Amino acid sequence: EIVLTQSPGTLSLSPGERATLSCRASQSVSSSYLAWYQQKPGQAPRLLIYGASSRATGIPDRFSGSGSGTDFTLTISRLEPEDFAVYYCQQYGSSQVTFGQGTKVEIK
């Protein structure tokens, strides 16, 4: 099973700042199989990025994904008030799906 490790656990930033979230895999992941989600309290996860770097429908261009192999990054270029939430990376590999433990982006 591929283990995804997200860092940092919590990111304390102010609106307008840049957020950089990391997702590291225990073994290589195909870029086609790497996604990022945003989750707010009491809500279902929302797809942000699929295929490591493709934005989902309706996702603002301040969200971007990059990376390959074992290292992937979600960048939020300028934080808006509605972006403070928990973010998860996810991978599909060998018919097994795993999620990272999440990064909480909180208001500083």
Task: Enumerate binding residues for another protein (CB under 8 A).
Answer: 1, 32-33, 35, 37, 43-47, 50-51, 54, 56-57, 88, 90, 92, 95-102
Q: Are the C-beta atoms of 75 and 18 separated by less than 8 Å?
A: yes
Nearest to 32 by CA among 87, 88, 75, 93: 93
Q: Rank residues 17 and 22 by Cβ distance to another protein and give the closer one.
A: 22
Q: Rank residues 13 and 47 by Cβ distance to another protein and give the closer one.
A: 47
Q: Are the C-beta atoms of 76 and 83 separated by less than 8 Å?
A: yes
Quote the least distance from Cβ 46 to another protein, whole Å: 8
Quote the least distance from Cβ 40 to another protein, whole Å: 13
Quote the least distance from Cβ 78 to another protein, whole Å: 25
Q: Provide the token pair at 24.
A: 């590291």
Q: Rank residues 9 and 14 by Cβ distance to another protein and give the closer one.
A: 9
Q: Are the C-beta atoms of 29 and 93 separated by less than 8 Å?
A: yes
Q: Are the C-beta atoms of 35 and 63 separated by less than 8 Å?
A: no
